[in-house]
A and B are shown apart, each in its own frame.
Chain A
Amino acid sequence: MITLEGINRIFQVGDQQVHALDDINLTIQPGEYLSLMGPSGSGKSTLLNILGLLDKPTSGRYLLEGREITSLSDDEQATVRGEKIGFVFQFFHLVPRMSAFENVELPLVLAGMAPSVRRERVNVILEQLGLMDRAHHRPDQLSGGQRQRIAIARATIMKPSLLLADEPTGNLDSRSGTDVVEVLEKLNAGGITLVVVTHDGQVGKRAGRRLRMVDGAIVKDERG
C-alpha cells in the first residue's frame, strides 16, 4: 500500500517559485491500476517521479508498504528503487551501447546476482514479451515498440511491486502503443501496482482508477 500525506514539491526557477505539487494526499492499494492525466505542467510527472523515488518532495510523507521512505538515506532509497519499483520512461532510456539482453540484465547485475541465475531470468522475461530473437540487438536496431518492451522487461526483472510508466506510449505509433499498454495491463493482472501518466485519453480511460491533475493538485479521482 502506498500513502502520500501532504506532499509538496516546489521548484526554484530563476527567482520564481513554482509549486509543482500542492499538498497531495493519496492512497494506492496493492494491485491497483491508476492513470494520471492532466495538462502539461500540471505536476503529474513530478508526482510519478516522487512515487518512483527519482525526486524528493519538498515536504510531506511518503509511505511504501508501511515504511516511511522520505527519511531514508540515498543508498537505502537506491535499494528500494532497485527492489520494489520499476520505472518506464517516455524516451525508453536504454543504454545505447548495451544489447537488449544486457539492458534487461542491468538491475540484476547491480544487485550482484550470479550470471547463471541472471541469464535464466532474462531469458524467461524476453520469452514472455516475444523478444527472444531481438536479445542481442542494440537499441538502435530495434523499433520503438520493441524498445519500450525491452524497457518494461528491465523495469520488471527485479519483480517489483510497483510499476510506474511516464507517457509510455508518447513516442510510439498507435499500434505499438496499444501493444505496450497491453503488456503493462497483463503485468497489472499478475498483481503489480500500475501507475500510468498519459496525455492520451484512450490510454487513460482503460485504468480502473483515473486521477486528473491541474496546477499541482488532484482535482478528480474516478473509479470503475
Chain B
Amino acid sequence: MRPGDTARFAAQSLIRARGRTLLMLLAMSIGVSAVVILTGLGEGARRFVTGEFASLGTNLVIVMPGRSETTGGAAALMAGETPRDLTVDDYLALTRNPLVSLAAPVMVGAAGAARGRLEREISVVGTTSEFLKIRHLSMDRGKFLPSGDPSRAVNVCVIGEKIKQELFGKEQALGEWLRLGDRRFRVIGVLATGGRSIGVDIQELVVIPVASAQALFNSPGLFRILVEARSREVMPRLQDQIRSTIAERHQGEEDVTVVTQDAVLATFDNILQALTFTVGGIGAISLAVAGILIMNIMLVAVSQRTREIGLLKAVGATRAQVTTLFLSEAVLLALLGGLLGLFFGYLGTTAIHGVYPDMDSQAPLWAVLAAVGVSSLTGLVFGIMPARQAAALEPVEALNG
C-alpha cells in the first residue's frame, strides 16, 4: 500500500466518522486542557507565593525585637520576658557595619487619617529614605522621604495610591496637608501601584519619617530593622555581627531575633511542597478522567471497526496493513487531540492571566508533557489494541463482528 493512500485512508475514516472523531477530540482536548489549566493555576499560586518572598530581597536580614524563632513577641511574652525595645540608635549602630549596604528601621501602627471631612483608619509606617530601595518600591509622583538624621521628626508623608484616591479623589495631593492622629503631615509623594509585599497592601499605606512615627505613637520601640547585606556570602557573618552589636548595646543580652529571607522561605517550604503535590494530584486525576473517556469511545467503536477489518482482510489486506492503517488513524487522532488540548489550555491560562494579572498561571512543562503523552498513549493503545485483535481473527469471524 502506498504511504499517501495510507494517510488518505486514515484521514478519510476520521473525517467521515465525524461523530466518533469529534467525541475523541473532545475527550482528549478536555483532558489535556484540564491538566494544563489546573496545573497552571496551581503553579501560578505557587509562584505567586514564592514571588512574594523573593520581592522582599534575597539579601535581606530582618531584625526583630524579642528572642524567638518565628513567632516574634508572643513567645517572648510566654517566656515571661519583656524584650528590650529596638531603637533608632540600634539601627544607627547597625548602619555602621561595613557588611551592610542598606538598612531601614520600621515602625508600624494604625492612626486615623483625615482630610477635611473625609476620615479613615490607616496603617502607618515610620521609616527612613532607605525603605524605598529595600522594599523595591517605586514612586508614582513626587518624592519619597528625604534622607538625613533619622532622629529628626519632619512632618512629611508619602501615601499609597488608594489612600490618595479616597482622601483626595481627583484633586492634587502633592503639597497638601494630611492629618494623622493629632499631627499634620505634608504629602510629598504618592507610591506607585504594582509593588506588593506580604501582609501589607502598599496602596493603603502612609509612610512617615521614623522620628515622626515615634512621636505619633508615643513609643521609641521599632517593629523591625531591615538590613540588606552587601552580598549573599556575608550573610551568616552579618547575622552574627548584628547579634553581637545589639547584645553589646543591650547590656550583653541577646534579645533580638535575626532571620534571613531564606529562613522565612524555609518556614514556608512545607506549604509550597503541599501546593506542588496538590497540583500534581489535580493533574493526575484529570489525566485519568481523560484516559477513561478516550478508552470508552475507542471501545464502543470496536465492533463496527471489527467488521471493517474483516472486510479489509477478505479483499486481501495483510495483518500488517490493517495494523498500519489503524495506527496511522490513531496517531493522527492523538496528534490532533493533543494540539487541540494545548490550544484550549493556552486559551484558559491566558484568560486566567487576563482576570488575575498577578497570577502567572503557566502550566509546568512536566504537566504539559505528561498530559499530551498520556492522552496520546491511551488513544494509541486503545485505537490499536482492538484493531490488532481483530486483525488476528479469521476474516469470517471479524466479518460477523
A residues sitting closer than 8 Å to B (CB atoms) are 49, 52-56, 74-75, 78-79, 81-83, 87, 89, 93, 95, 97-98, 106-107, 109-112, 114, 154-155, 158
Contact = CB atoms under 8 A, between A and B. Distances in A.
Contact of A83 (B316, B319, B395): B316
Given A54-B396, A87-B314, 9 more contacts: A52-B314, A55-B394, A75-B318, A78-B319, A83-B316, A93-B310, A107-B315, A110-B312, A112-B5
Contact of A95 (B308, B316, B318, B399): B308
Of B12, B313, B319, chain A has the most CB atoms within 10 Å of the CB of B313
B5 A109 contact: yes
A222 B202 CA distance: 106
22 contacts: A49-B396, A54-B313, A54-B314, A55-B397, A78-B321, A81-B315, A82-B316, A87-B314, A93-B310, A93-B399, A95-B308, A95-B311, A97-B16, A97-B17, A106-B315, A109-B9, A110-B1, A110-B321, A112-B1, A112-B5, A154-B315, A155-B315
B210 to A, nearest CB: 81
Given A54-B399, A74-B318, A93 B313 contact: no
Given A54-B396, A109-B9, A110-B1, A81 B307 contact: no
Interface in B183-224: none
Interface residues of B, number: 27
Contacts of B5: 109, 112
Interface of B: 1-2, 5, 9, 12-13, 16-17, 307-308, 310-321, 394-397, 399
Contacts of A97: 12-13, 16-17
Contacts of A112: 1-2, 5
Give the 6 A-B CB pairs with smallest separation, nearest first.
Answer: A82-B316, A97-B16, A54-B396, A54-B395, A78-B318, A107-B315
Contact of B315 (A56, A74, A110): A110
Contact of B317 (A53, A54, A78): A78
B237 to A, nearest CB: 77
**Dominant SS at the B interface?**
helix
A109 B1 contact: yes
B17 A110 contact: no
Nearest to A114: B2
B11 to A, nearest CB: 12
Contacts of A78: 313, 316-319, 321
A52 B315 CA distance: 10
B319 A75 contact: yes
A209 B13 CA distance: 42
A76 B13 CA distance: 27
A158 B315 CA distance: 9
Contacts of A110: 1, 312, 315-317, 321
Contacts of B1: 109-112
Nearest to B17: A97
Contacts of A56: 394
Contacts of B312: 106, 110
A154 B314 CA distance: 11
Contacts of A79: 316, 318
A111 B317 CA distance: 8
A224 B318 CA distance: 39
B16 to A, nearest CB: 4
Nearest to B314: A87
